[in-house]
Amino acid sequence: METNATDTLPGPGSTLADVEHLLAMPLQQAMMTQRAVRRVLPDPVDDAIVLRLIELAMKAPTGSNSQSWEFIVVKDREVKERLQKRYRQAWAVYGSVGRRIAAGDAKMQRMLDAVEWQIDNFADIPVLIVACLRTTPRSGHLPYVPMPHVATTSFYGSIYPSVQNLLLAARAVNLGASLITLPLWSVTSARSILGLPVTVTPACIVPIGWARGKYGPTTRRPVGDVVHVDQYGNRPWRGQDASGSVTV
Ligand SMILES: Cc1cc2nc3c(=O)[nH]c(=O)nc-3n(C[C@H](O)[C@H](O)[C@H](O)COP(=O)(O)O)c2cc1C
């Protein structure tokens, strides 16, 4: 097994046997340091590791336990290039708005640089995992039929817990990963690129590769700013973290 600069982390050439023990990373450590790692190496990732990550992803809940997920593992360069084209098109709109909003904000600029790196290198990313949802009798969702709010939230809510599991598992084994949706801006095009029937809806993509960047702590708003008690707007812990410290 080759290792990267810190020589304790797995990297290109690592097998599932090399990384399996890393999946025991303490939960809090994984959650505190799981951030979008968009810059990854082009080296292949062992299929067995990819399958193991998806297997762990599937420990997540789904509405009515429908398990209506399908995961398309994209490794073919031509398919990746077609998705890259769509990503670039979406970014032409979102990126220019983002650059304007980010003016003077170095952190935001760095994030936009990382997104642009990902778009430019999209076809070199070794694995794209496209997380999809299948319409089943239990999913309460019919293609092209307007559905009540609860059906829509339950349908899309049946993929994201698994995607978060996937991100956490990738983090534990030092595989760079992020959650992206922009390449899927046209569902018709995404279905055509991936050969999906109308009963399968792509939700998001998790590009995976051995991390060039480092995992590390994320920055989030203080918990007290987003927690309301009993009624919206009643925020007794505003500006505080869970220990009661004032964070702003
Ligand atoms: C629904 C959703 C869609 C996203 N789409 C994209 C995307 O298309 N491209 C991208 O680079 N990041 C995308 N992201 C990632 C967010 O930009 C990222 O989670 C956020 O900037 C926080 O990053 P951090 O966890 O590294 O702090 C998406 C995240 C979510 C939850």
* Ligand 1 binding pocket mutation candidate from 122, 159, 181, 206 (most atoms within 8 A of CB): 181
Token representation of residue 11: 């990297």
- Nearest CA among 147, 156, 152, 144 for reference residue 62: 156
Q: pLDDT grade, residue 5 (50/70/90)? A: very low
Neighbours of 90 (CB within 10 A): 17
* Domain membership of residue 240 as a residue range: 218-248
Neighbours of 9 (CB within 10 A): 17
Domain presence at residue 235:
yes
- Find the CATH number of the domain harbouring 81: 3.40.109.10
How many angstroms is it from 17 CA to the middle of ligand 1? 30
How many angstroms is it from 149 CA to the middle of ligand 1? 24
Domain presence at residue 7:
no
Give the nearest ligand 1 atom to 219 CA: 27
Q: Are 241 and 247 in contact (CB under 8 A)?
A: yes
Domain presence at residue 13:
no
- Whether 227 and 121 map to the same domain: the answer is no
**Does ligand 1 come within 6 angstroms of the Cβ of 36?**
yes
* Atom 20 of ligand 1, nearest CA residue: 36
- Whether 190 and 78 map to the same domain: the answer is yes
The residue with tokens 């993929």 is 159
Average pLDDT (241-246) is 88
Q: Name the 3-class secondary structure at 74.
A: strand
Q: pLDDT grade, residue 4 (50/70/90)? A: very low
Domain presence at residue 57:
yes
Domain presence at residue 2:
no
Tens-place pLDDT, residues 71-82:
999 999 999 999
Q: Provide the residue type at 181 as one letter.
A: T
- Whether 207 and 240 map to the same domain: the answer is no
How many angstroms is it from 69 CA to the middle of ligand 1? 21
Domain presence at residue 111:
yes
- Whether 192 and 223 map to the same domain: the answer is no
DSSP designation for 171: H
How many angstroms is it from 115 CA to the middle of ligand 1? 9
Domain presence at residue 10:
no
Tens-place pLDDT, residues 81-128:
999 999 999 999 999 998 888 888 999 999 999 999 999 999 999 999
Domain presence at residue 19:
no
Number of domains in the chain: 2
Neighbours of 162 (CB within 10 A): 22
